[in-house]
Structure 1
């Protein structure tokens, strides 16, 4: 049982950190809520780390992978200071094809600015792991072969040039994946990839994650952590 639990890593999925008064997709948490959530982890002997650190650890007991999708500019102002205050690490999945742009893929808005190249470098220099979220945030299961390869391969190359470090992590936009997308990610040289609920696909290139939002207080966090451990099957190959 212990081995199964250890091979079922708990990875939390965040997006934007800031004002959540207008948040139709429920992707935003306030800095205060994030601080309380990370405090809840600390009090239970859990430490937030990057996905790479989580997977590389001899034992994953007491570790939680913290991920932030889309590369919102508010990460530097609102998320990073909270992470730093708790001594936690994280992985930031960014879109090198939309540097300094906005979340145009969300039709309901609101429009949120994305990190520039300098912003991504600043996060990396602060110790945050940078991963690819594709070039422009498209559903890879609906992309043609050329677009799929471009989103996966070119995004990695651009981020490696931008940060001067090897990019080992990928995150499927919208959390959607199929075997074709997984194979492309593997062929591109990524060591792991994050999804949401990968269904029948298993392994380090299809890691499940748990969405964490503004409504996740202590009780909900406890339930999400407990249910993830009970309901998720062990991830093979990690």
Structure 2
């Protein structure tokens, strides 16, 4: 990558009544956000495509944390309409279950194995979001290995293809966790915030939520260009 590209961070896209953690974007709002990108000549791409591109200008990374079932029904059809792709990061120990880590929040179903395979056939990248969605910085070394390397092996067995990307739960990453991800054989990893570790194995992302209409998206893009020269 010649410059730090813009990467948008989503979680769930669905209709909702309550969203205390602000992880859900309504389908109508999401469709308008993708239309906003397309009208500006920007292409939404998976993280694998973005990190392999010689020139990232005009490319925007699209990421979806946790692997919610609505990725299949609400996200993929919109992405395909514009010829976009995206990366969905999956909690491998909860495939087909629900977001048990979000205490006090509405239960959301997670994609099952067949849903993940279907998403991959549509051109979407499947990455790991760990095995159990724990903060990695609080784990023993053997537990960290299972969360990072074990989840990679699980996904590769399920998909029958190499898994290249990792996403740190809660964005928590220190030098130990970054080294574990690199040693497990991933080619990149996504964080959330800029830090002294920022780079291929701790890529910062820009949160996108329900309130992000055209003006706010423009401001976030402009801020990224000033900060990173993209």
Fold shared, TM-score > 0.5 on shorter chain:
yes
Aligned to 1:125: 121
* Contact persistence 1:31–1:82 (CA under 8 A): no
Aligned to 2:177: 181
Q: CA–CA distance in 2 between the matches of 1:176 and 1:200? A: 13
The two structures have a TM-score, normalised by structure 1, of 0.94
**Of the candidates 39, 55, 61, which is equivalent to residue 59 of structure 1?**
55
RMSD between aligned residues: 1.3
* Contact persistence 1:196–1:210 (CA under 8 A): yes
Which ranges of 4 or more aligned residues in structure 1 deviate by more than 3 Å? none
Check if 1:102 corresponds to 2:112: no
* Contact persistence 1:8–1:232 (CA under 8 A): yes
- May I ask how many residue pairs the two structures share in their alignment? 230
Check if 1:200 corresponds to 2:223: no
Aligned to 1:142: 138
* Contact persistence 1:23–1:110 (CA under 8 A): yes
Task: Give 1:20 shift.
Answer: 3.0
* Contact persistence 2:3–2:228 (CA under 8 A): no
Structure 1 residue runs without a partner (length 5+): none
Aligned to 1:223: 219
Q: CA–CA distance in 2 between the matches of 1:233 and 1:184? A: 30
Q: CA–CA distance in 1 between the matches of 2:111 and 2:191? A: 22
Structure 2 residue runs without a partner (length 5+): none
Q: CA–CA distance in 2 between the matches of 1:7 and 1:153? A: 28
Task: Give 1:202 shift.
Answer: 2.4
- What SS is found at the alignment partner of 2:66? coil
Aligned to 1:38: 34
Aligned to 1:72: 68
Task: Give 1:146 shift.
Answer: 1.4
Q: CA–CA distance in 2 between the matches of 1:229 and 1:179? A: 27
